[in-house]
Structure 1
Amino acid sequence: MKKNIILKATQLFMKLGFKSVTMDDIAKEMGISKKTIYTHFNNKETIIGVVTDHVFEMVCNDIDAICDLGQNPIQELYAIKKRVMQYMQKEKASPTYQLQKYYPTIYNNIKQRQFSYMQQCVVKNLNKGLDQDLYRKNIEVQFVARIYFNGITGIKEESLFPHTLFEGETLYEMYLEYHLRGIVTPKGRNILNQLIQSNLD
């Protein structure tokens, strides 16, 4: 039952936002009493904490699976982008913004975990690119990894990149190209250009 509550709550939060969904909504959608939910979770904030952990773990597992495929690091970043966009398409009510505004403790905790995971993931990608002569030898790996994280989280800021001007997938696509063009070698640029072209076809 607890697992089912988490899955249904995840669905509702992604579709309607963390602020809008109530315990009554979750109970009604599941056809159970609110009391049943309270036997597993103390309050709504507890459910939100569990749901954000659940989504974070799912995304990390998917990214790990992509990294295990043995693609070159440029292909790898595009494959990750594609998978992340599938998650973002399920977000209909700016859940990240609502989390930041109404549940800052949960937001800050997940952002810190996200940074730790992405830092390790991007450093690995950069080192792979250096080994394969796809990224420039003179890049400072720790700096580039942090700038990447800063940019990828920054483009989600609605005040800086309003949806009326920037569509989600196009924005991510532009940022990824911007990131890669700054670090690729001529060999890497050829692969990047081919990937961009294949995405246009």
Structure 2
Amino acid sequence: MKEKIIQSAINLFITLGFKSVTMDDIASEIGISKKTIYTHFNNKTALVKATTVHLFESISAGIDKICSLDCDPIDELYRIKRFVMIALKDEQSSPQHQLQKYYPEIANVMQAKKFDVMAECTLNNLKKGIEQGLYRADIDINFVSRIYFVGINGIKDDTLFPIQEFPKVKVHEDYLEYHLRGIVTPEGLKTLNKFIKTNQ
């Protein structure tokens, strides 16, 4: 039952946002009493923490699986982007923004975990790209991996990129292209152009 509560809460939180979803909404979605939820979670904050950890671990496992496929680094980044967007349902409710606003302590812990995972993944991607001649050999991979992380988080800020003006899917597409254009070699640009055409 605890797993079922977490899964239902994740779906509702991602779709409607952390603020607007109540414990009653979650209980109604599953078809149980609110009291049953409280036997597993003391309050909504505890449930939010459990759902964010579960979602983070699920996404991290999915990213690890993509990285283990050993595809070319540009393909890898596009696969990761698609996987994360599907997992977060294109982030229409801006879950990260709401988490930071209403549950800052949880958000800060998750941000640190996310950085650790993304830093390792991005550094490996950059090294592989350089080795394969798709990324420029003169880039500072530590700087690029961090600036990529900053950008990924920045484009999720609704005050900077309101959804009405900047649809999430397009913003992620544009940012990934922006990131790659700054680091690819002429050979890498040929590969990148194939993905740009495929995604148009």
TM-score interval, smaller chain: over 0.9
Conserved in 2, the CA contact under 8 Å of 1:130 and 1:137? Answer: yes
The match for 1:29 is 29
- Please give the secondary structure, in 2, of the residue aligned with 1:65: helix
The match for 1:85 is 85
Aligned residue pairs: how many?
200
Q: How far does residue 56 in structure 1 lie from its aligned partner after superposition?
A: 0.7
TM-score of the aligned structures, taking structure 2 as reference length: 0.95
Q: 1:138 to 1:14 in 2, by over 3 A?
A: same
> Which AA in structure 1 matches 2:2?
K
Q: Please, what is the CA RMSD of the aligned residues?
A: 1.2
The match for 1:193 is 193
The match for 2:136 is 136
Q: 1:178 to 1:89 in 2, by over 3 A?
A: same
Q: How far does residue 191 in structure 1 lie from its aligned partner after superposition?
A: 0.7
Conserved in 2, the CA contact under 8 Å of 1:14 and 1:90? Answer: no
Q: How far does residue 9 in structure 1 lie from its aligned partner after superposition?
A: 1.1
- Please give the secondary structure, in 1, of the residue aligned with 2:166: coil
Q: Which moved more, 1:80-89 or 1:50-59?
A: 80-89
* Mapping of residues 59-98 of structure 1, within 5 Å: 59-89=59-89, 91-98=91-98
CA distance, structure 2, for counterparts of residue 84 and residue 78 of structure 1: 10
Deviations 1:151-177 (CA, angstroms, capped at 9, x unpaired): 011001111111122111111111111
Where does the alignment leave 5 or more consecutive residues of structure 2 unmatched? none
CA distance, structure 1, for counterparts of residue 145 and residue 90 of structure 2: 27
> Which AA in structure 1 matches 2:183?
I
> Which AA in structure 1 matches 2:17?
G
CA distance, structure 1, for counterparts of residue 10 and residue 85 of structure 2: 17
Q: How far does residue 89 in structure 1 lie from its aligned partner after superposition?
A: 2.5
Deviations 1:127-174 (CA, angstroms, capped at 9, x unpaired): 001111111111111000000000011001111111122111111111
CA distance, structure 1, for counterparts of residue 90 and residue 5 of structure 2: 18
Conserved in 2, the CA contact under 8 Å of 1:15 and 1:90? Answer: no
Q: How far does residue 101 in structure 1 lie from its aligned partner after superposition?
A: 0.8
Misfit runs of 4+, over 6 Å: none
CA distance, structure 2, for counterparts of residue 93 and residue 31 of structure 1: 24
Q: How far does residue 62 in structure 1 lie from its aligned partner after superposition?
A: 1.1
The match for 1:150 is 150
CA distance, structure 1, for counterparts of residue 120 and residue 52 of structure 2: 20
The match for 2:9 is 9
Conserved in 2, the CA contact under 8 Å of 1:136 and 1:183? Answer: yes
- Please give the secondary structure, in 1, of the residue aligned with 2:133: coil
Conserved in 2, the CA contact under 8 Å of 1:27 and 1:34? Answer: yes
CA distance, structure 2, for counterparts of residue 145 and residue 180 of structure 1: 12
Q: How far does residue 90 in structure 1 lie from its aligned partner after superposition?
A: 5.5
Where does the alignment leave 5 or more consecutive residues of structure 1 unmatched? none
Q: How far does residue 78 in structure 1 lie from its aligned partner after superposition?
A: 0.9
Q: Which moved more, 1:30-39 or 1:85-94?
A: 85-94
- Please give the secondary structure, in 1, of the residue aligned with 2:136: coil
Q: 1:134 to 1:92 in 2, by over 3 A?
A: closer
Conserved in 1, the CA contact under 8 Å of 2:94 and 2:156? Answer: no
Aligned-pair identity in percent equals: 55
Q: Which moved more, 1:103-112 or 1:78-87?
A: 78-87
